[in-house]
Amino acid sequence: MSEKFVLNETSYFGKGAREELVGEIEKRGFKKVFLVSDKSLVEANVTAKVEEVLNKAGVPYDLYDEIKPNPTIKNVLDGVDACKKSKADLIVAVGGGSSIDTAKGISIVMTNPERSDIKSLNGASNTVNRGMPLIALPTTAGTAAEVTINYVITDEDAEIKMVCVDPNDIPILAIVDSELMASMPKSLAAATGMDALTHGIEGYITKAHNDMSDMFHMQAIKMIFKYLPAAVNDKDPVAIEKMGMAQYIAGMGFSNVGLGIVHSMAHQLGAVYDTPHGIANAMLLPTVMRFNGEDPATAQRFREILVNIGRPDAEHLNDQDVINTFVWMISELSKTVGITTTIKDYGAKEEDFEMLAEKAMNDPCKPGNPRDVSKEDFIELYRRAM
């Protein structure tokens, strides 16, 4: 049986890498940019760093920044209207997952107008045309949206997060500039870093994992455990640059093999309570890893991770001690970067658990989990995460 692997065409990494943007625009023959970002980045003068590059070269652009932290169908549709009016031939997204995911949705609808309901893009999509050309410059070290074939849009009416999986949305170019990430507040750097860790861990244990994805995920996990505390707490420029690379590496893996039920559960917290995605993952990860670790094969995968992140003694631990050690290390990393909340702190109520579990059962990330999970399991896992 063959294994398919999809990666973006070209990427630049490092401090000041945004300077490569104009050369790529000119080389590819684009004439006008539709710049997608969000108001917080505009107000923080982060988007301005990219605008400066465009202005200096005389590249015309229009800015669209009407994007929520958990972007909605309306954000995408409003962006499509603005993009049409702009008459741009290139989308440039500057931001975290919210901005880049919105840009991906705009890109797809611009070339596949029959999918403008947006809801039909949920899950494994079968769009016909490659999206409008998109260049992505991430400002957070977590989602890896600049390299994945996924984007997440909230259906506010149904209170669900739609995970849209479509190779036609992948950016033609990714520019991972650590200077754009350096202005992240500590809380955002911590949340997005734990999102990246969740990608690495879930990608490593997912049912579809393979030798290539294992290589990406293991390297990402090692780098995140090593560099996340310094990137968050010390604003160390080397650590920030390494986190930018680590989250990108994790993205190359999970984009191709999927994730698991940490994401299935986190998506519902985001859709119902507007919980920031990275925080939701961080709060749920230890609880779900205990559940998954009860599977002996998954416990062995945890053992491999432990050996690679500084616990060579894990080779000789029994499965329960492996699970306990691994969960402890995840929890300690969360505490080190300041994440100590539970889902109750973000508004979760026990009377909502059945509704959340029902939604999680239908989440596209669920089938990749190494253990089968029932609605009752989800209810219990939400309860434990309180």
For residues 91 and 58, the answer to whether their CB atoms sit within 8 Å is no
pLDDT of residue 70: 87
Give pLDDT tens digits for 82-109. Answer: 999 999 999 999 999 999 999 999 999 9
Give pLDDT tens digits for 121-176. Answer: 998 888 999 999 999 999 999 999 999 999 999 999 988 899 999 999 999 999 99
pLDDT of residue 354: 97
Q: What six digits make up the tokens of 73? A: 């169908």
pLDDT at 329 over 90: yes
Give the total residue count for the chain. 386
Q: What six digits make up the tokens of 146? A: 């600049």
Which amino acid, one-letter code, is at 186? K
For residues 227 and 242, the answer to whether their CB atoms sit within 8 Å is yes
How does the average pLDDT of the chain come out, rounded? 96
Q: What six digits make up the tokens of 53? A: 């590059």
Using CA atoms of 91, 95, 97, 98 in order, give the dihedral in degrees to the nearest 10.
-80
Give the phi and the psi of residue 63 in degrees, each rounded to 5.
Answer: -100, 130
Give pLDDT tens digits for 18-33. Answer: 999 999 999 999 999 9
pLDDT of residue 149: 94
Give pLDDT tens digits for 64-79. Answer: 999 988 899 999 999 9
For residues 342 and 283, the answer to whether their CB atoms sit within 8 Å is yes
Closest CA to 343 of 287, 269, 264: 269
Residues 261, 268: Cα–Cα separation, whole Å: 11
Give pLDDT tens digits for 196-229. Answer: 999 999 999 999 999 999 999 999 999 999 999 9
Which amino acid, one-letter code, is at 327? V
pLDDT at 39 over 90: yes
Name the 3-class secondary structure at 136. Answer: strand
Residues 149, 164: Cα–Cα separation, whole Å: 8
Q: Where are the alpha helices (DSSP H) in the chain?
A: 20-28, 39-43, 47-57, 73-86, 97-111, 178-181, 186-205, 211-233, 237-257, 261-273, 277-293, 296-308, 319-336, 353-361, 375-385
Q: What six digits make up the tokens of 325? A: 């050690």
Residues 20, 12: Cα–Cα separation, whole Å: 8
Burial of 321 (0-12, 13-18, 19+ CB in 10 A): middle
pLDDT at 325 over 90: yes
Fold classified for 10-181: Rossmann fold (3.40.50)
Closest CA to 174 of 201, 198, 149: 149
Residues 186-385, CATH architecture: Up-down Bundle (1.20)
Give pLDDT tens digits for 232-246. Answer: 999 999 999 999 999
pLDDT at 1 over 80: no
Q: What six digits make up the tokens of 102? A: 């919105």
Chain region(s) in the chain for CATH 1.20.1090.10:
186-385
pLDDT of residue 88: 98
Closest CA to 168 of 121, 126, 131, 133: 131
Chain region(s) in the chain for CATH 3.40.50.1970:
10-181
The average pLDDT across 1-28 equals 92
- Quick one: pLDDT band at residue 311, thresholds 50, 70, 90? very high
Give the phi and the psi of residue 15 in degrees, each rounded to 5.
Answer: -60, 125
pLDDT of residue 295: 96
DSSP state of 345: G
pLDDT at 2 over 90: no
Residue 22's contacts (CB-CB under 8 Å, 6 or more residues apart) are: 53, 54, 56, 57, 59
Share of the chain above pLDDT 70, in %: 100
pLDDT of residue 9: 87
Q: What six digits make up the tokens of 7? A: 């990666």
